Amino acid sequence: MNKSNPEGRSPFHRYEQALQDREGKREVMEKFGRKVVRSYLPDQHRDFYSQLPYIVVGSVDNEGDTWATILAGSPGFVRSPSPTTLNIDLHIARGDPLRESIHNVGASVGLLGVDLESRRRNRVNVRIAGVQDNVVHLTVDQSFGNCPQYIQSRALNYSRAAHVSSEHGAVSEFTALGDDAGALITHADTFFVSSFIVENDDPTVEGVDVSHRGGMPGFVKVEGNTLTIPDFPGNYHFNTLGNFLANPKAGLVFPDFETGDLLSLTGSTEILWEDHPEVKFFRGAQRAWRFTVKKGKWLRKALPFTARFDQFSLNSEMTGTWKEAEERQTAEQLKANWQPMELVRVEQESSVISSFYFKHKKNKALLPFEAGQYLTIKANTGQSEKSIIRTYTVSSAPNEDYYRVSIKREPKGTASRFMHDKLRVGDVIDAKYPSGNFYIDAEQKRPAVLIAGGVGVTPMISMAQHVLKEGVRTRHARDVYIFHAAKDREQRAFYKEFKQIEEAMGGKVRYYSFLSQPKPNDRPGDDYNGLGRINADVFREVLPLDEYDFYVCGPSQFMQSIYDELSSLGVRDGRIFSEAFGPASIARKKGDCAETGESVDDHEESEEAVIRFTQSQFEQRWNKGDDVLLDVAESHGLTPSSSCRNGICGACAVPIKSGEVSYRTKPSAPIPDGHALICCAVPAKGTASLELDI
């Protein structure tokens, strides 16, 4: 196509389209691609290339292997005489495979113009028209811009004249990665990859492509001659991985920004899909790929400059490393165990709520969680031999290097008073990794409405931060409306944080504050949005006509009121999600699906059974309708771990030695194999004898 044209042919070949289909992005990428992928260079791209002191090149050698390299020169060494042509002065380092392949007239070449200082980049796929007087003449097949995701900013320092190529730098070839190559790759935060598809069906969309890859140091794993690279969310063009589907060959170049050396590799690839165990635990990765080295070259002093690191991109900082991924995989195996957590920071959020920041005492990676889930903690208050066990919603966003729980100080609350009055920075408590069924899906297209009362705001700030971060990471932000009820401004937590999220999201997140007892000098519209209760009239006034997911958290009376108001508006029960600890729960309409804390109508319990607690050697006859197992144990002076008493926290899980249990309340906590949550369990129908390890 000669110009961007929504009705023109697809800018993607069938393997790129296959990956777009796999991700559910095919239709949107077709519309987007036909607008931004051009068969010519726009003027701004032509100007951009003429200002560059270097350009990344992908090519295929005479043996059919692909390589990536970097050409350097004084600004202007890349020129665009017309929108469909590029000329490049050739300053190719000695030993670079490009020296041979650049003379193959008609061959496809991939170019990437990237300015590390401004983090701007543009891609162009071209063909070699000829080489004359050390200048290669290229014709344009495709041109398109790329976003600056994962590009770390750097400033150049020249060690020699930019236009002088390295004719005397040492060159070494190898077929196995040495220690020096492994060290460079392991510490790299940037490299470039070349891929290609043989030109069969449509040469204008097939051929060679070269792309940037970035992440935190350690994002490339080295194991012998094999590299493993995570694939982060990008522009969904899938130029590189689409080529890998058709042809597994790849070329990688790692610049050493401290010396000006280039490490150039060629080999083959294998794609690791999203369900691969290694992908699952890598923060930010959607999939990964393995690269096996066939051969490589060290091109010493190939670049006329070094590059001083400035800062990581925000997107890179939201991703992980392979070391962290391995630690997460280990942590997953210990998910049901208590972990030592050290208090590292305390912040006052309101007159009654403080946030407590915890990191793993042994500096182990923390497991990720879903925004809205809770942390179960155990601490010794010193008031008795028995530790207290409580569940608190994690108020930080997933994938931070800490867990934040925000707790209201209750005058008669043993646990909250201990946390506020006794716990100090440096103290250690035990905690289980977060769990729970109350959380938000940031990728859902349907808008979400978060409704919080008092300290019930804690899961909502986690959800809002998660939507913000996922919007930055994936460039898709879910629409979110937040309704926050508090007594007054002094007791209202996270107001500034919500307002910052609202501003950062540019209208995708909207926050509304309601106060029941504002002060005389509080300004409506500035300090708060409404008075009194959040009710159906508020939703009618604020929410556009649409179908929403509603998330509700707060005191029992507040949640019941919100549920009733939403029901009066005709909101389907399945669209109302709630969270509560202890005995609090919503009384839902009869016949609607059971949820956290609700009774299970179809459970079947034994008519009679004998209960044995093997550790304490206690035995008791039990009849249908008698107490749940936790109450039975406590009635005889036993003190098994417990907290929520309705199947939410999982703290009361004990091993079953023999027999089976049934649940009077549907548990939301995960139940380890061979265990029972005794706070809501009874002997199951058909079980005459039940033995528990208590």
DSSP assignments along 176-207, one per residue:
S--HHHHHHHHH-SEEEEEEEE--SS-TTT-E
DSSP assignments along 588-651, one per residue:
PPTTSPP-TTPBPTT--B-SEEEEEETTTTEEEEEETT---HHHHHHHTT-----SSSSSSS-T
Q: Among residues 257, 94, 258, which one has the least CA distance to residue 169?
A: 94
**What pLDDT is stored for residue 476 in this prediction?**
85
pLDDT digits (tens, 9 = 90+) for 276-306: 989 999 999 999 999 999 999 999 999 999 9
The first and second tokens of residue 410, run together, are: 């209750």
pLDDT digits (tens, 9 = 90+) for 435-455: 888 999 998 999 999 999 999
Q: Tell me the torsion sign for CA atoms 574, 579, 583, 584.
A: negative
**What pLDDT is stored for residue 675 in this prediction?**
94
Q: Does 355 score more than 90 pLDDT?
A: yes
- Kindly indicate the confidence band of residue 585, based on its pLDDT and cuts at 50, 70 and 90: low
Q: Does 163 score more than 80 pLDDT?
A: no
- Kindly indicate the confidence band of residue 413, based on its pLDDT and cuts at 50, 70 and 90: confident
Q: How many CA atoms lie within 13 A of 348 on its CB side?
A: 6
DSSP 394: B
Beta bridge partners, 88, equal 78, 136
**What pLDDT is stored for residue 2 in this prediction?**
39
The first and second tokens of residue 240, run together, are: 């590189």
Q: How far apart are CA 241 and CA 233, in angstroms?
A: 12
* Mean pLDDT, all residues of the chain: 91
Residue that wins the pLDDT comparison between 430 and 650:
430
Q: Go through the domains of the chain in sequence order and give each one's CATH number.
A: 14-323 (2.30.110.10), 334-435 (2.40.30.10), 448-579 (3.40.50.80), 608-692 (3.10.20.30)
Q: In this structure, are residues 651 and 639 in contact, taking their beta carbons and an 8 Å threshold?
A: no
- Kindly indicate the confidence band of residue 603, based on its pLDDT and cuts at 50, 70 and 90: low
Q: Among residues 92, 23, 29, which one has the least CA distance to residue 55?
A: 92
Q: How far apart are CA 320 and CA 400, in angstroms?
A: 11
Q: Does 165 score more than 70 pLDDT?
A: no
Rounded mean pLDDT, 8-36: 91
- Kindly indicate the confidence band of residue 582, based on its pLDDT and cuts at 50, 70 and 90: very low
Rounded mean pLDDT, 96-121: 95
Q: Among residues 405, 503, 401, 509, which one has the least CA distance to residue 447?
A: 509
Q: Among residues 317, 269, 275, 262, which one has the least CA distance to residue 289?
A: 269
Q: Which of 192-206, 214-228, 497-511, 592-606 is least confident?
A: 592-606
DSSP 159: S
